[in-house]
């Protein structure tokens, strides 16, 4: 019986110190995990800072050269005025408003008014049937609505437009009101004319496009 307390003490002794040992190991592991998380977060922050710095230093030379006809030193936007697809129409309106806010001269090519502009856009981009809007600055393909808005939010778009002439008092054109198309004077917009050489039969007007429009003779 005298050895019983000693036996109890020997049995309880490891149990008494076991929780403290477990707690110490757990704290050590948690500490390592905490340090690893901090290192991971710091590395992510550094990477983001590098990416942001690279984006801020973007110039026109960083964009692919896909020059529309007559767009070597100009800003050209391919748009559509059709409201059939609401998002496309709203994107075109947004990009137009965004470019206009800089007060620069730009040229809008509405693919719904002139189907040749649509074919021209597809040809420039290697046959890819993209939808408007599409922005080109000095022969460089900047992108669609999402890309242009993202560049504007980063302050890059303003740098890309540097050197573009500002709008003068002659803009918009008083003849076409900035649409850059007027009604064909030969067929009056009906796309048909009377051919004197074919006994008065009506033939396709050779001067206008599929909508009975011709390019404005003043601003084009």
Each residue of 27-64: pLDDT tens digit?
444 445 444 443 444 344 444 444 454 466 789 999 99
List of residues 6+ apart from 214 with CB closer than 8 A:
181, 182, 183, 184, 185, 207, 208
The verdict on 95 and 70 lying in the same domain is: yes
Domain that holds residue 119: 60-170
Asked whether the predicted pLDDT for residue 194 surpasses 50, the reply is yes
SS3 content of the chain, % helix, strand, coil (to 5): 45, 15, 40
Q: What is the pTM of this model?
A: 0.70
More confident residue, 112 or 179: 112
H-type alpha helices, 57-160: 86-100, 115-124, 145-153, 157-160
More confident residue, 7 or 123: 123
What pLDDT score does 171 carry? 67
The verdict on 158 and 87 lying in the same domain is: yes
35-52 burial, b at 16+ Cβ within 10 Å, e below that, comes to: eeeeeeeeeeeeeeeeee
What pLDDT score does 172 carry? 76
Number of domains in the chain: 2
The verdict on 87 and 148 lying in the same domain is: yes
Closest CA to 206 of 192, 188, 189, 190: 192
The verdict on 64 and 156 lying in the same domain is: yes
Phi–psi pair at 152, nearest 5 degrees: -65, -40
Q: Are the C-beta atoms of residues 173 and 163 closer than 8 Å to each other? A: no
- 3-state SS record for 12-43: HHHHHHHHHHHHHHHHHHHHHHHHHHHHHHHH
Q: What is the percent of the chain with per-residue pLDDT over 70, rounded to a whole number?
A: 73
Mean pLDDT on 149-163 = 95
Q: What would the pLDDT profile of 73-122 be if each residue is shown by its tens digit?
A: 999 999 999 998 899 999 999 999 999 999 999 999 999 999 999 999 99
């Amino acid at each position: 019986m005298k050895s019983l307390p000693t036996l109890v003490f020997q049995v309880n002794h490891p149990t008494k110190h076991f929780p403290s040992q477990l707690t110490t190991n757990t704290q050590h592991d948690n500490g390592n995990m905490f340090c690893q998380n901090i290192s991971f977060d710091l590395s992510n922050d550094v990477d983001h800072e590098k990416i942001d710095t690279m984006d801020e230093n973007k110039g026109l030379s960083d964009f692919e050269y896909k020059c529309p006809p007559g767009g070597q030193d100009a800003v050209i936007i391919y748009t559509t005025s059709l409201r059939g697809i609401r998002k496309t129409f709203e994107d075109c309106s947004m990009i137009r408003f965004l470019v206009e806010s800089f007060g620069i001269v730009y040229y809008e090519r509405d693919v719904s008014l002139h189907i040749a502009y649509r074919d021209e856009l597809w040809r420039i981009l290697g046959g890819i049937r993209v939808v408007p809007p599409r922005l080109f600055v000095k022969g460089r393909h900047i992108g669609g609505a999402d890309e242009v808005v993202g560049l504007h939010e980063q302050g890059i778009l303003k740098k890309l437009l540097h050197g573009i002439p500002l709008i003068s008092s002659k803009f918009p054109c008083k003849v076409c009101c900035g649409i850059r198309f007027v009604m064909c004077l030969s067929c009056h917009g009906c796309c048909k004319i009377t051919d004197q050489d074919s006994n008065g039969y009506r033939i396709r007007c050779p001067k206008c496009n599929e909508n009975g429009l011709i390019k404005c003779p003043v601003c084009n």
